[in-house]
Amino acid sequence: MLSSEVRSKEGFDYGAPRQPKVVQAITRPELDKISQSLAKHMKRIRNTHGQAKSSVSLRGLEKAPTGIGGLDEISGGGLPRGRTTIVCGGAGCGKTMLGLEFLVRGVEEFGEPGVLLAFEETPEEMTRNVASLGFDLKALSDKKKLFLDYLPVEPSEIHETGDYDLEGLFIRLQHAVDSVGAKRVVLDTLEALFSGFSNMAILRAEVRRLFRWLKDRGLTTVVTAERGDGTLTRHGLEEYVSDCVILLDHRIQEQISTRRLRIVKYRGTRHGADEYPFLIDDSGLSVLPVTSATLNHKISRERVSTGISDLDTMMQGKGYYRGSSILVSGTAGSGKTTLSCHFADATCRRGGRCLYIGFEESTDQVFRNAASVGIDLNRYVKKGLLFHRAWRPSQYGMEMHLLHIHKLIDTLKPESIVIDPVSNLIGSSTQRDVRSMLMRLIDFLKEKGITALLTTLTRGGNHLEATEEQISSLIDTWILLRDVEQSGERNRCLYILKSRGMAHSNQLREFVIRSEGISLLTPYIGSGRVFTGSARLAQEAKDSSEALLRKQTIERKRGELQAKRRELEARIENLRVEYAAEEKQMEMLIHQAQNVEHRLELDTQEMAGSRQAGLSGDRQNRKHVNGAQA
């Protein structure tokens, strides 16, 4: 109930008797005036509310980067700054290691001092445990960058009372934070602190108090906790009051150990919710994000040599695309490793770095075998261009293989990579796991722009154009090596099954491995078949003999034709001679006939002239007679 003073201030007087009020009529103009005034007042209220709303800027959750490879990526930038993160899991899964690396990276990479409060191990034990990873806790402590404290807790000494609190712990923590100006805190482990409690009400209240105390001081805290039976933590309380929960798991499958990490909870931000494999090695902890769901990696139009000029010719004379994935498949002894060595040699010859990973042969064995075909790989090792790493597939699980390759690539930064052969991974895991691992590896290499050549062993018969890993659809260029049996021989042949983005030869090319390396032979096709080896030589000899016979037949027919030509020419010449003689004789007869004709014309003219002379004489005689008579 409000006090009388408050009532007076609010303008209400509930104690005074009610008095009747006189209601006065309001005219129409007054009503319009009141309405306009009310409308202006409401408009001012809306404008003020809109300005206040627009002035508020939404800020995302601030994060503290851990510096742990891969963890910042899947968490979207790190752990929640100024809040508490629970790292839970079974024994030996890496909880303490994650917390320590979080502190060390914070000091060395982000300039944020830290406090480690351990309840089970002393600072000296912690220092020795992480020395092999290159973390010098004592040096950081001496520089006042890291405060190491050990607080042993004996469950037998804890008595549950309603007045129990953690004030002593808070004072100790505050002193440690003030000593180094800490921004980060690690408590290892929570169960040791509350191990003597059975009263869940007190336990829950104290856990909440602890987390609230840390949050109020803006400390980015990692609290390690043991995995419970059916719960993330032993008490099943911590995951509910913390802002972020990371679950670590160490599992054994078919005698192969694998560590996995999963962000179970992360308030106020998006994060990866899948299981991610992680590795603890001599450089710390590394988390491997799964492959991206989007295919947005950049491509290159630059071409790189295969190391075999004739094979380059089959690809427009230019070789593979830089950053593409190449699969070389074939039966045992078909030349897969030798072709891989040519590719590694070509990379190093142009000054690029190449990482060669072998699952079957040791480094010395690969180098010896390569030297037998004229490829000196050892010189590139001395120049720092070639890095050969060999291990058995059964040494790690699929995720560990992938993590190991990731770390090698991040460290060595190669231009190209050779993995020989990926088919050996099948023996240490399932086909599905191998395909998943290779898919993520290929995506990672494409994002990095690294040209990858993978070899795989295939079975004979009708299974040549299939791989056990079922990764052919992920590959850009697929080269098939096969043995062709003819005339009691097995000869090597090469065929480009596919090569995305380029025109390539569709010929089946025989190749030989000599002391100078791989040489592709000119394709020889006869009777609709491809011949190799001694069958090729026999077919070449047979074809040469048949060609010679055809040539002789043609030459004979050509001679017969020439003889016929000469015979016809002789006959034509005789006919010409006969024709000339007859022509001459005919010309003589024609000339004689013309002479006779001419003579007859002259005689005729002469006779005509003589007739004209006689006629005129008779006319004169008749004229003289007539005159005499007159």
- Tell me the domains of the chain and their CATH numbers: 63-287 (3.40.50.300), 303-523 (3.40.50.300)
* Three-class DSSP category at 286: strand
| Model confidence at 6: pLDDT above 70 | no
Do the Cβ atoms of 204 and 237 come closer than 8 Å? Answer: yes
Helices (H) and strands (E) in the chain, counts: 17, 24
pLDDT range class, residue 252, cuts 50, 70, 90: confident
Residue 195: which of 156, 241, 142, 139 has the closest Cα? Answer: 156
**334 token code pair:** 């078909």
**For residue 210, what pLDDT is reported?**
86
Distance CA 502, CA 486 (A): 32
Q: Is the pLDDT of residue 116 over 90?
A: yes
Local confidence band at 53 (pLDDT 50, 70, 90 cut-offs): very low
Give the chain's mean pLDDT. Answer: 81
Phi-psi map region of 461: left, alpha, beta (phi>0 left; psi -120 to 50 alpha): left
Question: Taking 60 as the threshold, does the pLDDT of residue 13 lie above it?
Answer: no
Question: Higher model confidence: residue 428 or residue 498?
Answer: 498
Of the ranges 98-107, 158-167, 219-228, 535-544, the best mean pLDDT one: 98-107
Q: What was the pLDDT predicted at 111? A: 94
Neighbours of 304 (CB within 10 A): 22
Q: What number is the average pLDDT over the span 473-501?
A: 87
What pTM does this model have?
Answer: 0.65
CB atoms within 10 A of CB 184: 26
Residue 397 backbone dihedrals phi, psi, to 5 degrees: -80, 175
Top-ranked range on mean pLDDT: pick from 34-48, 232-246, 284-298: 232-246
Q: What is the pLDDT at residue 25?
A: 46
pLDDT value of position 186: 95
Is a pLDDT exceeding 80 seen at residue 129?
yes
Distance CA 277, CA 398 (A): 9
HSE of 361, CA atoms in CB hemisphere, 13 A: 17
What is the rounded distance in angstroms from the CA atom of residue 44 to the CA atom of residue 551?
A: 109
User: What does the pLDDT read at residue 332?
Assistant: 87
pLDDT tens-digit map of 559-590: 888 989 988 989 898 888 888 888 888 888 88
Q: How far apart are CA 612 and CA 108, in angstroms?
A: 156
Q: How far apart are CA 546 and CA 536, in angstroms?
A: 15
- Are 546 and 553 within 8 A, CB to CB? no
Helix, strand or coil, per DSSP, at residue 23: coil
Segment among 26-35, 515-524, 592-601 with least mean pLDDT: 26-35
| Mean pLDDT computed over 530-545 | 68
